[in-house]
Copies of this chain bind each other. A is one copy, B any other.
Amino acid sequence: MDLYNQLSELGRRRAIFYPAFEIYGGVSGFNNYGPIGSLLKQNIEQKWRQRFVYREGMVELETTITMPEQVFLASGHVAHFTDIMTRCSQCGKVFRVDLLLNDLKIKSSEGLAPQAFDALIAKHGVNCPDCKGKLLPSEPFNLMFQTQIGSLDTKQIGYGRPEAGQGQFLDFKRLYAAAREKLPLGIAQIGRCVRNEIAPRKGPIRLREFTIIDYEIFFDPKDHSYPAIKLIQDQRLRILSASEQLAGSDTVKEVTVRDALAENVVGNEILCYFMAIAVTFLEELGIPFDKQRLREQLPDEKAHYSEQTFDQEVWLDRWGWTEVSGHAYRTDYDLRNHMTHSGEDLRVYKTFETPQNTIQITVKPIKESLIEDFGNRKADQILLLLSKSDLTIVARELQTKGFYELTGRYPVKLTATHLRIEEKRVEATGWYFIPHVVEPSFGIDRIVYATLEYAYSRKKKRIHLALPRDIAPIKAMIYPLVSRDGLPDIATHVYRSLLDEGFVVRYDSSGSIGRRYARADEIGVPICITIDYQSVEDNTVTLRDLYTWTQVRTAVPDLVDLLQKYYRKKCEFTDLGELL
């Protein structure tokens, strides 16, 4: 049994994670979290919030999962969020072409066009792996779950969001105002997303419904500095650069944050900062530094709008290097698209510290020619949209392409007959711009799984889940040695007093203490508290450590304080009492 199989067995038996809808035979790509798993997941999410949001002075948002079509027309998901599939002409089975080729060790890439996939299929004579039938021409399959919002009179197409970031772009202006126009402004969202994967497999790695953290950090494109980076300049990163990969190597280079930036291995300070704390974050979840790497995406993997993207990968026993977070510099792609599609001005204005000499571009619409070509009403709409457009872009497109295209609600092509460009050198006191965005994005289910994998081992043949104490689902087990002679009273008192202080603790009075320890070790309970006959005499209890199986003896009245210190990492286990 590989580690995944062992963890799956544990996951089912102790209700940590397991396939959904089991009594109906299951549907692939859907997993549930039981009591232990959901606590672990919540603790990891909360730890993430503490580190990435609160400590950085950033904010969080909660938007809906169901969204109307317009959002995904603008974001490009309707057109481009597809996998390429092929179907067997004989048995009808459907395959994701890149995975099918990959299984046959035929080199391809997720981003190829259907025709390119068909060429590979023809070249290598690939048939249906199940029935050997001929494969039909490849075609794109949109991965969004579609639905309909509203009833007959108001119905419109809606989709389940395939990522959580669109909410941040849509609400950016409102949140920017509420944050009193501060930049950089990071807006995080932790939430469920859905993707109708063609052939989900790999257990918790490729799910149809999953929890994502999308974190959009908006900043002034002229200033990607992030002062807190000074605090982590000497931190080391394990980077597998694009150039290394293009040269056919998978050699990871260790560089400091300082050097990564100085040598332009990472081209953006904000990108680099959050990547670095993502590494530390995983280390604190128990995933060692050398089992992580930051792999730069190759030009043909990268989204076309991305300046630079790194995947944070973790080594997993069954699947090898596996992406658990992505760090992309998305430029102004998203805001710009929502701006043209919605007609809303999503730019911000910033005053220069001192007035600056700058070239002011004015694009003068020639109203008469607009009316002539598009009619009165549409001309008015075009004028309105132009007043909200970034004129630098309008001018650039006109000059390079010969036309400027308004997309969205009123798609038209404007040429030099409609627009007059004027450039003027002026002293400006500020400027309008579309903020740029760095997006760290975390797959929480993969991170939960990786955390479990690195916590899991066998100690004296028994399962031992050494989860870090701060994310452990259950903080303490309370064991009365026997269920008589006043022991349950003390145990109940201990149990209640810990509960009252907000600790998630459990009471367990069945079986030998040894068996109770074994059950606790399987779900990673850092401390087991045993109430025995001595407790009745002197009001002390035994604490037993998950990690080392060490034991100490402590007075009951000190327990709450000590456990608070321990879980805030202010002391170690051996500081909790007298070593036994």
List residues of A whose CB falls within 8 A of some B CB.
12-15, 18, 20-24, 27, 30-39, 41, 50, 54-55, 57, 59-68, 70-71, 85, 87, 92-94, 141, 145-154, 156, 158, 160, 167, 170-171, 173-175, 177-180, 187, 191-192, 194, 196, 198, 208-209, 338, 341-342, 344, 346, 499, 501-502, 504-507, 510, 568
Judging by beta carbons under 8 Å apart, are B15 and A178 in contact? yes
Which chain B residues border A63 with CB–CB below 8 Å? 20, 32-33
Docked-complex contact B15 and A87, CB < 8 angstroms: no
Query: Residue A60 contacts which of B27, B38, B148, B175 (CB distance < 8 angstroms)?
Result: B38
Number of this chain's copies in the complex: 2
Please, which residues of chain B bring their CB within 8 A of the CB of A32?
61-64, 167, 171
Instruction: Select from chain B the residue with minimum beta-carbon distance to A54.
Output: B504
A150 & B568 in contact (Cβ 8 Å cutoff):
no
Closest to A91 in B: B153
Q: Are B506 and A57 in contact (CB under 8 A)?
A: yes
Q: List, in ascending order, chain B residues with CB within 8 A of A149's CB.
A: 27, 145, 196, 208
B21 touches A153 (CB 8 A): no
**Would A21 and B170 count as touching, CB distance under 8 A?**
yes
Give the residues in chain B near A14, CB-CB below 8 Å: 178
Are the CB atoms of B145 and A146 closer together than 8 Å? no
In angstroms, Cα B156 to Cα A173, docked, is: 40
Within the complex, what minimum Cβ distance (angstroms) separates A194 from chain B?
A: 6
> Is B170 touching A158 in the complex (CB atoms < 8 A)?
no
Rounded to whole Å, the gap between the CB of A71 and the closest CB of chain B is 7
A147 to B39, CA, bound (A): 30
Residues of chain B contacted by A18 (CB below 8 angstroms): 171, 174
B-chain residues with CB within 8 Å of residue A568 when the two chains form the complex? 501-502
From B20, B35, B153, contact of A64 by CB (8 A): B20
Interface residue from B59, B68, B196 paired with A150 (Cβ < 8 Å): B196
Residues of B within 8 A of A208 (CB): 66, 149
* Cα–Cα distance between A20 and B170 once the two chains are bound (Å): 8
* The residue from B20, B35, B198 contacting A178, defined by CB atoms under 8 A apart: B35
